[in-house]
């Protein structure tokens, strides 16, 4: 690469910088299906009236109701985090009774027509124990012997009849179903990701305990637990009350008038994150489909993609006040380091002897079982800076919440080892006189190159965060010295003659090979330092304008997640109207009737990216100060928001009218210097704990207030 012999470099990379293509990579399997049939009430919707399905995202309750022969039937379901099981309640009002069958089975592959391809699963096998009180499923995944068990039990006043493969309940006025499901997976590489336990007894105990509590208590505990997170943030965009169904709301959506859908879409992203990523033993982060995979052959294996997708899943977590959802991904990255050290040996020659942590490596895709090798094609599979980007997600936990003990004990060891890897792996490009990642590849776009903007920007961010952490903790002086020297010579950003940010350092050189370059590629990897990073905050205005030109060059199209990415990028540039235009495009073109983001197909990162993008339009804190209404679009000229979180552990609430702040309230959760940037803020009336104070003026439109933990600072305009 240093000799600019791209043909030879490409040949070598295609041969050696790839991982094995093997069925052992695996796929995210659906556990199984509960099939409940009400055939006595007809087989089509035309045979019932007033049919409704509803998801209440303020309580995380799903309901279905309809009327048949004058009797109203209702089903209510929820997945309880505190009690660790699925619960469903069947009730009726009228003379007709509840009559249905229950079947528990393994999920199989779906064909393109939406029907099962076959009756048996290629991947799983199980045995069923069916009685008049329960159905117990015990089985294993065939290739890796992952064990699983589920236990479905019920309460009812109806008659029960047992068939060979199902249970029939008839003549009932109510029925409650309880399902617990477990595997022997352990988020622990040292135990080969397994734990020894009696799965059968565990699922039985969970259901028995739940039945003792009863449906009412289970529901109350579920709602209380869920709302403790969900209700932290409220968004009001002055939307008119709209009783339309969600699919009609989406179908009739018009930008500038669609605040009801936009509010719902914002909170839906938070609902999805709470529901797919919670802190508990052996928890895994949300994957490409969150947790909502109904088949055994999902797109992209429903795995973890680490070149934007997994990171985007957690973009809304911090700013929308959902710290608890982040711990699964932090723990996952921590565990990835174990097998990541094997990848570092094989692909970078960096060795960690027993007890050493000299560096780890991971690439584009990963699994729950420590897969860290590159993909089986260099042109999407090689992505060594994925470790640096994942560490940005991890370090933000400290940036936002300022828990120094957690920084020292959990985050810093991960940060230090990742820095050690890059301190050893960086190569001095004598021709350019900079430290580079080489070879590098800009996801999933263009040719092999040396020190591209994507890699260099992520390494810069990693070094920047490490410098802050090491200085604050007073640790690793020698490593800190090396990192500072190399950080100054990363030179991640270059501007082309046409005024754009270069994606490849060599793209204007004579020998640059522009194969695989697309004018409006879905990725905008060269702008990772703009968002979610803060590299551009340390650069001049010409770099901001070059980023703007690059985004214009990429256009407004792309996949669903790509639009969500651009919402955040335009918001970071302060262009709320352009960010809003991308949000509208995502809603109109890239959103399914149930509000899932469509790549196509369904891919959940676009939902999370849209929520974070909307938050970024309202509040930014990536620089040295907090910026309220940082990219407010004209469509949101009046509104209010409460409970957003800014870096420094400041909880922010505000109201505005005609795009101007009326009141800004900031709760200092950890104390520290509060800096706020807003037009004429130095002229506002400022109160701390209800007493008027004078803030320190840091220059036009910027003030500073010293706070202690628990101080409430209010600004009146």
Which CATH number fits the domain that encloses residue 465?
Answer: 1.50.10.10
Q: Do 698 and 648 sit in the same domain of this protein?
A: yes
Residue 275 lies in a domain: no
Q: Do 63 and 80 sit in the same domain of this protein?
A: yes
Residue 85 lies in domain: 31-231
Q: Do 497 and 353 sit in the same domain of this protein?
A: yes
- Maximum alpha-carbon separation in the chain: 85
Element (H, E) at 2: none
- Cβ atoms within 10 A of the Cβ of 631, count? 25
Lowest mean pLDDT among 508-517, 604-613, 696-705: 508-517
Which residues sit opposite 234 in a β-bridge? 642
Judge whether 308 and 523 are in contact, CB under 8 Å: yes
Query: In the predicted model, is pLDDT for residue 269 greater than 80?
Result: yes
Mean pLDDT calculated for residue range 106-125: 68
Which CATH number goes with the domain that contains 225? 2.70.98.50
Give the domain-ending residue among 194, 209, 231. 231
Q: Do 460 and 363 sit in the same domain of this protein?
A: yes
Give residue 151's pLDDT. Answer: 98
Express each pLDDT in 537-584 by its tens digit: 999 999 999 999 999 999 998 999 999 999 999 999 999 999 999 999
For the chain, how are helix, strand and coil distributed in percent, rounded to 5? Answer: 35, 25, 40
Cis peptide before 588 (omega within 30 of 0): no
Q: Do 360 and 503 sit in the same domain of this protein?
A: yes
Q: Do 102 and 38 sit in the same domain of this protein?
A: yes
Which residues sit opposite 38 in a β-bridge? none
Give residue 117's pLDDT. Answer: 56
Give residue 401's pLDDT. Answer: 98
Give the domain-ending residue among 231, 251, 278. 231
Q: Do 223 and 355 sit in the same domain of this protein?
A: no
Judge whether 282 and 11 are in contact, CB under 8 Å: no
Q: Do 199 and 311 sit in the same domain of this protein?
A: no
Residues above pLDDT 90, as percent of the chain:
91
Express each pLDDT in 219-228 by its tens digit: 999 999 999 9
Judge whether 180 and 203 are in contact, CB under 8 Å: yes
Residue 479 lies in a domain: yes
| Assigned token pair, 495 | 């501007």
Domain count, the chain: 3
- Distance in angstroms (rounded) separating the CA atoms of residues 553 and 457: 20
Express each pLDDT in 285-304 by its tens digit: 999 999 999 888 889 999 99
At 512, the pLDDT band (50, 70, 90 cuts) reads confident
Residue 570 lies in a domain: no
- Distance in angstroms (rounded) separating the CA atoms of residues 166 and 701: 69
Q: Do 113 and 68 sit in the same domain of this protein?
A: yes
Query: In the predicted model, is pLDDT for residue 207 greater than 70?
Result: yes
Mean pLDDT of the chain: 96
Q: How much is the pTM?
A: 0.97
Q: Do 391 and 497 sit in the same domain of this protein?
A: yes
Which CATH number goes with the domain that contains 643? 2.60.40.1180
Which residues sit opposite 79 in a β-bridge? 86
Query: In the predicted model, is pLDDT for residue 641 greater than 90?
Result: yes
- CA-CA distances (angstroms) from residue 369 to 194, 304, 340, 610? 10, 11, 11, 29
Collapsing DSSP to helix, strand or coil, 481 comes out as: helix
Q: Do 193 and 312 sit in the same domain of this protein?
A: no
Residue 83 lies in a domain: yes
Express each pLDDT in 23-63 by its tens digit: 779 999 999 999 999 977 777 778 899 999 999 999 999 99
Residue 176 lies in a domain: yes
Lowest mean pLDDT among 85-89, 303-307, 597-601, 650-654: 597-601
Q: Do 47 and 15 sit in the same domain of this protein?
A: no
Cis peptide before 532 (omega within 30 of 0): yes
Give the domain-ending residue among 181, 201, 231. 231
At 496, the pLDDT band (50, 70, 90 cuts) reads very high
Collapsing DSSP to helix, strand or coil, 75 comes out as: strand
Residue 649 lies in a domain: yes
Residue 575 lies in a domain: no
Residue 305 lies in a domain: yes
Mean pLDDT calculated for residue range 83-104: 97
At 110, the pLDDT band (50, 70, 90 cuts) reads low
At 509, the pLDDT band (50, 70, 90 cuts) reads confident
Give residue 115's pLDDT. Answer: 59
């Amino acid at each position: 690469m240093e000799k600019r012999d791209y043909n030879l470099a490409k040949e070598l990379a295609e041969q050696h910088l790839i991982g094995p293509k093997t069925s052992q990579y695996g796929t995210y399997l659906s556990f199984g299906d509960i099939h409940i049939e009400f055939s006595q009430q007809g087989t089509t919707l035309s045979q019932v009236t007033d049919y409704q399905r509803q998801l209440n995202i303020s309580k995380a309750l799903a309901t279905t109701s309809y009327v048949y022969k004058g009797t109203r039937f209702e089903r209510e379901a929820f997945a309880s985090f505190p009690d660790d099981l699925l619960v469903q309640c069947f009730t009726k009002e009228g003379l007709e009774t509840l009559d249905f069958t229950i079947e528990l089975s393994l999920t199989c592959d779906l064909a393109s027509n939406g029907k099962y391809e076959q009756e048996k699963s290629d991947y799983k096998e199980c045995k069923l124990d069916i009685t008049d009180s329960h159905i117990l499923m015990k089985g294993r995944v065939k290739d890796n012997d992952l064990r699983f068990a589920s236990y479905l039990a019920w309460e009812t006043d109806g008659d029960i009849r047992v068939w060979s493969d199902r249970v029939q309940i008839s003549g009932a006025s109510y029925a409650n179903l309880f399902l617990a499901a477990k595997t022997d997976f352990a988020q622990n590489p040292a135990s080969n990701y397994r734990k020894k336990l009696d799965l059968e007894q565990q699922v039985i105990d969970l259901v028995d305990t739940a039945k003792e509590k009863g449906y009412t208590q289970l529901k109350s505990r579920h709602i209380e637990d869920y709302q403790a997170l969900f209700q932290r943030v409220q968004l009001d965009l002055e939307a008119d009350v709209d009783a339309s169904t969600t699919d009609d709301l989406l179908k009739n959506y018009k930008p500038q008038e669609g605040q009801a859908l936009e509010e719902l879409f914002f909170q839906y992203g938070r609902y999805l994150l709470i529901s797919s990523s919670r802190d508990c033993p052996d928890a895994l982060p949300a994957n490409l489909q969150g947790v909502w995979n109904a088949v055994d052959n999902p797109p992209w294996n429903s795995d973890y993609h680490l070149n934007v997708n997994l990171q985007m899943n957690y973009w809304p977590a911090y700013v929308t006040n959902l710290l608890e959802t982040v711990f699964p991904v932090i723990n996952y990255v921590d565990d990835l380091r174990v097998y990541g050290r094997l990848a570092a040996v094989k692909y970078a020659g960096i060795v960690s002897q027993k007890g050493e942590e000299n560096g780890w490596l991971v690439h584009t895709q990963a699994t729950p079982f420590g897969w860290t090798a590159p993909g089986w094609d260099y042109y999407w599979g090689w992505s060594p800076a994925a470790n640096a980007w994942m560490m940005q997600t991890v370090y933000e936990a400290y940036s936002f919440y300022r828990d120094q003990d957690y920084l020292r004990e959990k985050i810093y060891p991960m940060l230090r080892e990742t820095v050690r890897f890059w301190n050893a792996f960086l190569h001095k490009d004598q021709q350019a006189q900079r430290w580079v990642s080489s070879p590098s590849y800009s996801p999933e776009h263009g040719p092999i190159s040396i020190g591209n903007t994507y890699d260099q920007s992520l390494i810069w961010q990693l070094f920047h965060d490490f410098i802050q952490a090491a200085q604050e903790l007073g640790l690793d002086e020698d490593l800190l010295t090396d990192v500072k020297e190399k950080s100054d010579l990363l030179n991640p950003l270059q501007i082309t003659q046409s005024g754009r940010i270069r994606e490849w350092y060599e793209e204007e050189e004579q020998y640059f090979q522009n194969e695989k370059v697309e004018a409006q590629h879905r990725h905008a990897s060269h702008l990772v330092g703009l968002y979610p990073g803060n590299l551009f905050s340390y650069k001049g205005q010409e770099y901001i304008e070059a980023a703007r030109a690059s985004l214009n060059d990429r256009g407004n199209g792309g996949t669903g997640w790509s639009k969500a990415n651009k919402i955040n990028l335009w918001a970071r540039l302060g262009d709320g109207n352009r960010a809003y235009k991308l949000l509208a495009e995502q809603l109109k073109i890239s959103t399914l009737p149930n509000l899932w983001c469509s790549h196509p197909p369904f891919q959940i990162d676009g939902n999370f990216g849209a929520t974070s993008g909307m938050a970024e339009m309202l509040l930014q804190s990536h620089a040295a100060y907090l910026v309220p209404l940082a990219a407010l679009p004209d469509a949101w000229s009046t509104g209010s928001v409460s409970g957003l979180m800014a870096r420094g552990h400041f909880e922010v609430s505000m109201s505005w009218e005609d795009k101007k702040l009326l009141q800004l309230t900031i709760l200092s959760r950890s104390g520290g210097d509060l800096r706020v940037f807003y037009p004429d803020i130095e002229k506002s009336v400022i109160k701390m704990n209800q007493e008027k104070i004078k803030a320190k003026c840091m220059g036009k439109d910027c003030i500073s207030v010293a706070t202690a933990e628990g101080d409430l600072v209010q600004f009146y305009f």
